[in-house]
Amino acid sequence: MKRELICIVCPMGCHCSIEVDATAPKGYTFSGLTCKRGEDYAIKEITEPTRMLTSTIRIEGARLPRLPVRTSSAIPKERIYECMGMINALRVTGPVSMGQVLIKDLFGTGVNLIASRSL
Ligand code: SF4
């Protein structure tokens, strides 16, 4: 099965395709990619896609009403909507420090939800 992708590793945004090929060195054939990082991305995208998640949450007792947050590293793509539900339900009270863990070990992945700034 051939999958068409757009590599999101760098701003070049190469349009590419990947196809399972047991005779190829890595088990896949590629087209449209211009570097090895793109090959690694394409393999991961069809085997276990992940994404960094950034958003904001409501904060009380701070000079702004919303606190920017992000995951400390990428989480499984299929958990994004579930994670957004957790983020939407989350309320914190200031002060909060940049990097402070707000939700620990999302879905048992070892990835935390952290504050992106102090507020
Ligand atoms: S294949 Fe390489 S150059 Fe192209 S978008 Fe991906 S990382 Fe950038």
Q: How far is the CA of 39 from the centre of ligand 1 (A)?
A: 9
Asked whether the bond before 95 is cis by omega within 30 degrees of 0, the reply is yes
CATH topology of domain 54-115: CPE0013-like fold (3.10.530)
Residue-by-residue pLDDT tens, the chain, 119 positions: 899 999 999 999 999 999 999 999 889 999 999 999 999 999 999 999 999 999 999 999 999 999 999 999 999 999 999 999 999 999 999 999 999 999 999 999 999 999 999 99
Pocket test for ligand 1, best of 7, 30, 31, 39 (most atoms within 8 A of CB): 7
17 phi and psi, to 5 degrees?
A: -140, 155
Q: How far is the CA of 77 from the centre of ligand 1 (A)?
A: 20
CB atoms closer than 10 angstroms to residue 67 = 23
Q: How far is the CA of 34 from the centre of ligand 1 (A)?
A: 6
Q: Which amino acid is at 117?
A: R
Is pTM beyond 0.85? Reply is no
Q: Are 80 and 96 a contacting pair, CB within 8 Å?
A: no
Question: Given the CA of residue 13, which atom of ligand 1 is nearest to it?
Answer: 5
